[in-house]
Structure 1
Amino acid sequence: MASPSRRALVTELDRFDGLLEVGCGDRLGVASDLADRGRDVIAIDVAVDGDDGADEWDDRADGADGSADERSAPDGSLRVRHGDVVALADTADPSSALGVGSEDGTGIDAVYARRLPAELQRPALELATRLDAACLFTTLGFEEPVVPVERRSRPGTTLYVARSVTDRSP
């Protein structure tokens, strides 16, 4: 059974079609739930297994067999990749680095994170800005946001909205 905070995040993020979760670690519950709802999700973390020395933005495994962790859901998908939000925010073309954009008709509508530490809040917001995407996150609980935010109280959690964009879902 999903926690109240997980359900609240999924409900809040469900209005976006293309999502990027930064700092996913091994907690893919929200990303998985969103993919199951038909959303296209990319989840990145520096600790994703399968680092074979190739380009940092190639699909990476987080499974034991070394294959790329990509699965389809009813009209949705989840891709887990090795990646660093700080480096991605500084890359020349973050959309291309993520493999999304106008060529394939997909894009990132929201960048989000669960338990985002203070030192990654500015890079996450910068990345969202460069992608023209919303930026939403929860904190570790004991830290206050270090970027300007709108606070939204949800069951079991406080969601911080650092950047809003017009809802692009159909």
Structure 2
Amino acid sequence: METPRNAALVARFSPYGSATEIGVGRRPEVAAALADAGVSVTATDITDVDVPASVEFVRDDVVDASERDEPGEHYQVDLLYGLNLPPELHRPTWDVARAVGADFLFTTLGFDEPTVPCDTESLAGGETLYVPRERS
């Protein structure tokens, strides 16, 4: 479903050559739109979910990945992102992103505060995008 929020997220993420969505759940629209825009996209979740053929799916838990010496090939991308990412996944995803040298961007459900130090970006459609940063 094309929404102003999804269009803004795709516009923000599409400059990356490769991306992995953490916890895709039942809403692969952004991942599919990124793939349509030419981004190589992988989606992960802890349970099997259906994603469009243009999106690779890997069943994995980012919490487990954050504890492995090698998080996994599917995290070797330019961007890790999460949409409506729950607070308990902020730190593990950030840890994986730092381990593989990827950028990490995420949204929350709106009432959750980030659990890692972040800057914010306001996107069209009223979405707030969180951009983790190292503590100064």
Instruction: Identify the match of residue 79 of structure 1 among 56, 61, 69.
Output: 56
Instruction: Identify the match of residue 98 of structure 1 among 73, 77, 86.
Output: 73
Partner in structure 1 of residue 102 of structure 2: 133
Deviation digits for residues 39-58 of structure 1 (CA, Å, limit 9, x no counterpart): 11110001225xxxxxxxxx
Q: Distance in 2 between matches of 1:13 and 1:91?
A: 27
- 1:48 equivalent to 2:48? Answer yes
Deviation digits for residues 139-167 of structure 1 (CA, Å, limit 9, x no counterpart): 01111111111100011200011159xxx
Aligned to 2:117, the other structure's residue is in SS state coil
Give the direction of change, closer, same or farther, for the CA distance of 1:48–1:148 in structure 2 (3 Å limit): same
Size of the aligned set, in residue pairs, is: 133
Aligned to 1:71, the other structure's residue is in SS state coil
Partner in structure 2 of residue 33 of structure 1: 33
CA RMSD in angstroms comes to 1.8
Q: Distance in 1 between matches of 2:42 and 2:12?
A: 17
Asked if the contact 2:46–2:59 (Cα under 8 Å) also holds between the matched residues in 1, the reply is yes
Give every structure 1 segment of 4 or more consecutive aligned residues whose post-TM-superposition deviation is greater than 3 Å. Answer: none
Partner in structure 2 of residue 19 of structure 1: 19
Deviation at 1:71, TM superposition (A): 2.7
Q: Where in structure 2 are there 5+ consecutive unaligned residues? A: none
Deviation at 1:99, TM superposition (A): 5.0
Q: Where in structure 1 are there 5+ consecutive unaligned residues? A: 50-61, 63-68, 73-77, 101-106, 165-170
Partner in structure 2 of residue 151 of structure 1: 120
Report sequence identity in percent. Answer: 39
The structure richer in helix per residue is 2
- 1:120 equivalent to 2:89? Answer yes
| TM-score (normalised: structure 1) | 0.73
Asked if the contact 2:42–2:74 (Cα under 8 Å) also holds between the matched residues in 1, the reply is no
